[in-house]
Chains A and B, each alone.
Chain A
Amino acid sequence: MKFKAFLSDNGVSLLDKRFLPALEKMGKICHLYLTRDHIYFLHNLLNGDGIQCIAQFRKEALFDEYRLSSQNDDRISFAIDLSLLHRALHSIISIYTEFSASDSGVPGGNSAPNHIQIKLVKKLPPHSQQPMPFLTFETKGYKSAVIQDVPISKPLSRSDVLELQAALDMAQDLPQTLIQVPDMHQLQNFVEKMKNVGDVLNVSISKYGDLHLQVSTSLITLGAEFRKLSVIGEQAQSPTDDQNLSAQSRTRIALQRGDAMTVQVSVKHFFKSLQCHAAKPDCAFYVIAQQGACLTVVFQFFIPGTHQTDKAISLHCRLPVLDPGAS
């Protein structure tokens, strides 16, 4: 089992400034899953409950050079503490940029190009007889070289990796109607305040482009409706006579006509998923899976300077649906 790669400058800034801060909010520990072509950060895919978060990168998005081999069809996965990973990367970057700065100052200065190298190693930790696995970062600065070892779990067994891949495949197929999230910042602000009022959030999505969020308890009903949002996939024309209805009635009618779906999720999960905003996506969509199995938020990234989806990067969250009977 071998893994060794050089982080690209773009990869460094993607991870340090955008993805690691966002992923840390999803949970401290995640699985890092490496395949021949892709790198995944996966939250909660093996243990059923909680919000599932899947960040996927094509190897070129993060690395200049990428070498991987394992007896399990060149797949490696292990659990890693994201805050440690972020700290290690952050410290490595400060040394690395110091070198790059000194390099650029002198014409024809340092001849050997500098890299941030990342590899899997087994080391004897201090006061221990048992070698432990680490993800190691290595770079050199102007006058120093730095190595940062991030402890990781033992690599997942073949069966666990298969299970992870199966969960991942299941999470990939997207259903019919995607609806574009309105102003994410405003929504985040709103849902944060909504958290104080109740625990269970009803999310309804219609083919007309309506998103309706509602918290309802025995003492209060609080909701927000966003209309005329852009829709990808199956669409429908909204009935012309629904303009003067209340948001609740409009949603009820759309559900009766089969033009909308509704699910119940935890307000806390919903808020957490909005924190993926830290990864600075260009837009985001909500989707309810078939039979209302889960609520998915798909974050979309554009190729810089264009409005074309960057297929090398993808991020989405799956929010477990609460059993209406149980709540």
Chain B
Amino acid sequence: MSSSAVEPESPDLVCQLDNVQGVVDALTSVRWKRQQDAVLELSEHGIVLIVEETACLQAKVYLQRELFVRYEYSAEGRPRFGVSLGLFVDCLNTFSVQGHSSAIELRYPGPDMQLLLKSVESSDSCTYAEIRTRIPDTISWDYNFEPAGSTPLSFTVKSAALKEAIDDLEWPGSSIHLILQPTPPSVTFRGEGHGDLQIDFMCQANTDLLVAFHCDREVCHRYKYKFLRATTSNIPSSVIRDNRGSKLTIGRGGMLKVQHLVSVAKPAIPHPHVDSAGYQQPSRIAYIEFFVKPEVDEDDANDT
């Protein structure tokens, strides 16, 4: 089955995916501009892809080993390498054929430290790719996310509603205040720029919208609109279709964590016996995390 002519004695990782489209969706959700460098980190637990921008925004995609039909990891330590995110996604996308479950194999490193991909299904046709990797830059800023105080400040909102709210805030633009207050329990996005726009999620008024809410004191932080927008601009349509929620947490110093869940389930085969409505195997989810640093100036530096 192997078609590689020169193979290194023992690659760090050989793994197989049966749902390329799900992974393409997950990776696309952190693709907020054309040219982005990404760092891939391999471990026995899975693959983590990290992208960041100007030390203010970082995103991580966790592809746990459970998402792979085969995952053979044999490296010491955690190998890391850089690739162009756009190229990686565009390349993976060529392996995803509509109406056809396409299984692919990923292998690292190739003879020249490339990331190797190939389709594994048919013997009469084969798609392959070699992506040049580079030595990654050191992550410029440590995004250690720590809770702000003893009780968490977090809320979970329908991903579709979050995206809609952030899209609407484009009009005032520039900076967006995010305010959480315990009484009445509510989340407010307020934009002041070309005009004022305030969007409130009231916890009691709409229990469908705001699924969970934890807040014991009022907090207010300001975030650059373009960074907030990056967290939802490419959310995959499957997330909206599955009616998933996104969790937002405010940590120490006002650092905002936005988490999405993207389904990487094998394209559903109708199963008459175990058809529990909307049930997804919990292990077939890719976790997406964004960390957004707040804008800090003298006025709100001591907010937390």
Q: Residues on A close to B: CB < 8 A?
A: 182, 186, 189-190, 193-194, 196-197, 218-228, 244-249
Q: Is the CB of B91 within 8 A of A222?
A: yes
Query: Given A193-B93, A193-B94, A222-B94, are A246 and B128 also a contact pair (CB < 8 Å)?
Result: yes
Most chain B CB inside 10 Å of its own CB: which residue of A194, A197, A220, A224: A220
Residue B4 at the A interface, CB < 8 A?
yes
* B97 at the A interface (CB under 8 A): yes
Nearest-Cβ distance from residue A44 to partner chain B, whole angstroms: 28
B94-A219 in contact (CB<8A): no
* 16 sample A-B contacts, Cβ–Cβ < 8 Å, listed by A number: A182-B125, A186-B100, A189-B97, A190-B97, A193-B90, A219-B84, A219-B131, A219-B132, A221-B130, A222-B127, A222-B128, A228-B124, A244-B2, A245-B5, A248-B5, A249-B5
> Contact partner of B124 among A221, A222, A227, A248, CB < 8 A?
A227
Query: In the complex, are the beta carbons of A247 and B97 less than 8 A apart?
Result: no
With A197-B87, A219-B87 in contact, is A189–B98 under 8 Å at CB?
Answer: yes
Inter-chain CA distance A248–B111, complex, in Å, is 14
When chains A and B are docked, how far (Å) is the Cα of A220 from the Cα of B243? 36
**A193 to chain B: closest CB distance in Å?**
4
**Highest count of chain A CB atoms <10 Å: which of B2, B3, B93:** B3
Nearest chain-A residue to B134 (Cβ)?
A219
Chain A residue numbers with a CB within 8 Å of B132 are: 218-220
User: Chain A's interface: helix, strand, loop or mixed, by majority?
Assistant: mixed
B129 within 8 A of A: yes
Complex contact B125–A244 (CB within 8 A): no
- Cβ of B129 and Cβ of A220 under 8 Å apart? yes
Which of the listed residues A186, A197, A219, A223 has the most CB atoms from chain B within 10 Å of its own CB? A219
Identity of the chain B residue whose Cβ is nearest the Cβ of A249 in the assembled complex: B5
Which residue from chain B places its CB closest to the CB of A213 in the assembled complex?
B127
B3 and A224 contact, CB distance less than 8 A: no
Q: A222-B129, A224-B126, A227-B126 are in contact. List 8 more A-B contacts (CB 8 A).
A: A190-B94, A220-B130, A222-B127, A225-B127, A225-B128, A226-B125, A246-B128, A249-B5
User: Of B4, B90, B100, B125, which one neighbours A246 at CB under 8 angstroms?
Assistant: B4
Q: Give the residue of A186, A190, A223, A249 whose beta carbon is less than 8 angstroms from that of B129.
A: A223
- Judge whether A247 and B129 touch: CB under 8 Å: no
- Given A196, A220, A244, A247, which contacts B126 in the complex, CB threshold below 8 Å? A247
Contact, CB under 8 Å: A220 / B97:
no
- How far is B3's CA from A8's CA once the two chains are assembled, in angstroms? 54
1/0 per residue B105-144: CB within 8 Å of A? Answer: 0000000000000000001111111111000000000000
Docked Cα-Cα span, A249 to B84, in Å, equals 26
With A219-B132, A245-B3, A246-B4 already in contact, the answer to whether A190 and B90 are too (CB < 8 A) is no
Closest to A197 in B: B90
In the complex, A283→B61 CA distance in Å? 43
Q: How many angstroms from the CA of A197 to the CA of B97 in the assembled complex?
A: 16
Give Cα A292–Cα B3 distance, bound, in whole angstroms: 28
Whose C-beta in chain A lies nearest to the C-beta of B114? A221
Find out whether the CB atom of A246 lies under 8 angstroms from the CB atom of B91.
Answer: no
Complex Cα spacing A189 to B125, Å: 15
Give Cα A194–Cα B125 distance, bound, in whole angstroms: 16
In the complex, are the beta carbons of A247 and B128 less than 8 A apart? yes
A220 and B128 in contact, given A190-B97, A197-B94, A245-B5 (Cβ under 8 angstroms): no
A11 to chain B, nearest CB (A): 34
Q: Are B128 and A223 in contact (CB under 8 A)?
A: yes
When the two chains form their complex, are residues A227 and B125 in contact, meaning their CB atoms are under 8 A apart? yes
Q: How far is the CB of A213 from chain B (nearest CB, A)?
A: 9
Determine whether the beta carbon of B94 is less than 8 Å from that of A220: no
